[in-house]
Amino acid sequence: MLYVVTGPPGAGKSTWIQAHAKAQDIVIDLDRMALAMAGPGADHHAHSDVLLKVVHRARFAALNEAYQHLETTDVYLIHTQPSAKALAKYKRLKAKVIVVDPGEAIVRQRVQAMRQPGMEAVVTRWYRQQRRRPAHAVTVQASRNW
C-alpha cells in the first residue's frame, strides 16, 4: 500500500510516519534523504541547491522502484503539496492520502520557530490549495506535540 502523507511544513508528517510505519516499510522523505546525503552537522531543513538536485533525482528513482513493490511492502511518501498530476498518479496506484494538519495557527508558530523564513510562503500556498483537496484524502488532526 502507498501512503502519501501531505500537510504544510511543520505539521508533523514525519512524526505521523514514525508512529505508523514499521521497520520493514519504505519511507521516502526528502528531508531525511537530504540529511543522509549532506555532510556532518547539516541543518535538517536548509539544503543547498546542488544537494536538492541530487536528492530529487534519488527520490524519483526510489519512488519508481518502490512502486514496483506495493503489493508486498507498505511505502510511506511525504509529498507536502502534490500537484493534480501527482494526485492522479497516486489515485491510479490506489494510494491512501493522509493529510496531517494540526491547524494553521500551530503550523505558523512552528514554522516561525523552527524553519527558514521562506517556508511561511509555502504554508500560505498549502492552505490555499487545501480548498481543492481531493475527496479521497483523510485528514489527521495532529496533536500539538507533533
- Residues 17-47 have pLDDT tens digits of 999 999 999 999 998 998 899 878 776 667 7
Residue indicated by cell numbers 507498505: 74
Average pLDDT, the chain: 86
2-140 is a CATH 3.40.50.300 domain: yes
Domain ranges of the chain: 2-140
User: What is the chain's percent helix, strand, coil content, to nearest 5?
Assistant: 45, 15, 40
Distance CA 11, CA 115 (A): 12
Q: What is the mean pLDDT of residues 102-106?
A: 91
**Residue 89 near residue 134, CB atoms below 8 Å:** no
- Residue 4: strand, helix, or coil: strand
Identify the band that residue 136 occupies on the pLDDT scale cut at 50, 70 and 90. Answer: low
pLDDT level of residue 133 (50, 70, 90 thresholds): low
The label of the residue with cell 496531517 reads 100
**DSSP 8-state secondary structure symbol assigned to residue 143:** -
Separation of alpha carbons 101 and 142, rounded Å: 6
User: Residues 26, 31, 35, 36: what is their CA dihedral angle, to the nearest 10 degrees?
Assistant: 20
